């Protein structure tokens, strides 16, 4: 059973940086999609970025392009838990949200997962607050 554990987040001022980490364990696959979503209370969950573990494709939302970087930290390690980091620079108040790591238990690549409902494994969420 796939499990996702997130860490990072917190409160920062505009222009500062944060790093979010997600560790995926228990997957029988060494290649699959991992994604970061965010959600503000009362609004729909939106994708921030995704990456194919064991692959090279990366996607960023328009809001994340140029400021956020998603990367797999242990790409050299074929087996075992997968670690993905979301580095967020030049944070803005509109980046404030609860951030979630997500993965498919099916082991699908990201191009097959168009919506948040296509992901069935989610982390617990971590709050990011950007304010002056």
Along the 132 residues of the chain, how does pLDDT read in single tens digits? 889 999 999 999 999 999 999 999 988 888 899 999 999 999 999 999 999 998 878 999 999 999 999 999 877 666 788 999 999 999 999 999 999 999 999 989 998 888 899 999 999 999 999 999
The pLDDT of residue 56 is: 79
Q: What is the pLDDT of residue 22?
A: 96
pLDDT at 76: 66
Burial class (CB in 10 A: 0-12, 13-18, 19+), 41: exposed
Q: Give the integer Cα–Cα distance in Å for 66 and 60.
A: 9
SS3 57: coil
pLDDT of residue 114: 81
Structure-token pair, residue 130: 């950007």
CA distance 69 to 62: 13
- Give the whole-angstrom CA distance, residue 78 versus residue 98: 30
CB crowding 94-125: b at 16 or more within 10 Å, else e:
ebbbbbbbbbbebebbbeebeebeebebbbee
Give the separation between CA 68 and CA 80, rounded to whole angstroms.
Answer: 26
The residue with tokens 């994604």 is: 35
């Amino acid at each position: 059973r796939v499990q996702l554990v997130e860490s990072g987040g917190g409160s920062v001022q505009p222009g500062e940086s944060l790093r979010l980490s997600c560790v995926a364990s228990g997957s029988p696959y060494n290649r699959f999609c991992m994604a970061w979503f965010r959600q503000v209370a009362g609004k729909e969950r939106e994708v921030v970025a995704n990456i194919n573990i064991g692959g090279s494709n990366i996607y960023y939302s328009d809001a994340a392009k140029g400021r956020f970087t998603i990367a797999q930290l242990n790409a050299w390690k074929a087996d075992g838990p997968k670690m993905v980091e979301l580095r967020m620079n030049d944070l803005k108040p509109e980046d404030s949200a609860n951030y979630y790591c997500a993965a498919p238990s099916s082991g699908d690549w990201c191009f097959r997962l168009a919506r948040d409902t296509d992901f069935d494994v989610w982390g617990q969420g971590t709050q990011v607050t950007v304010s002056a």
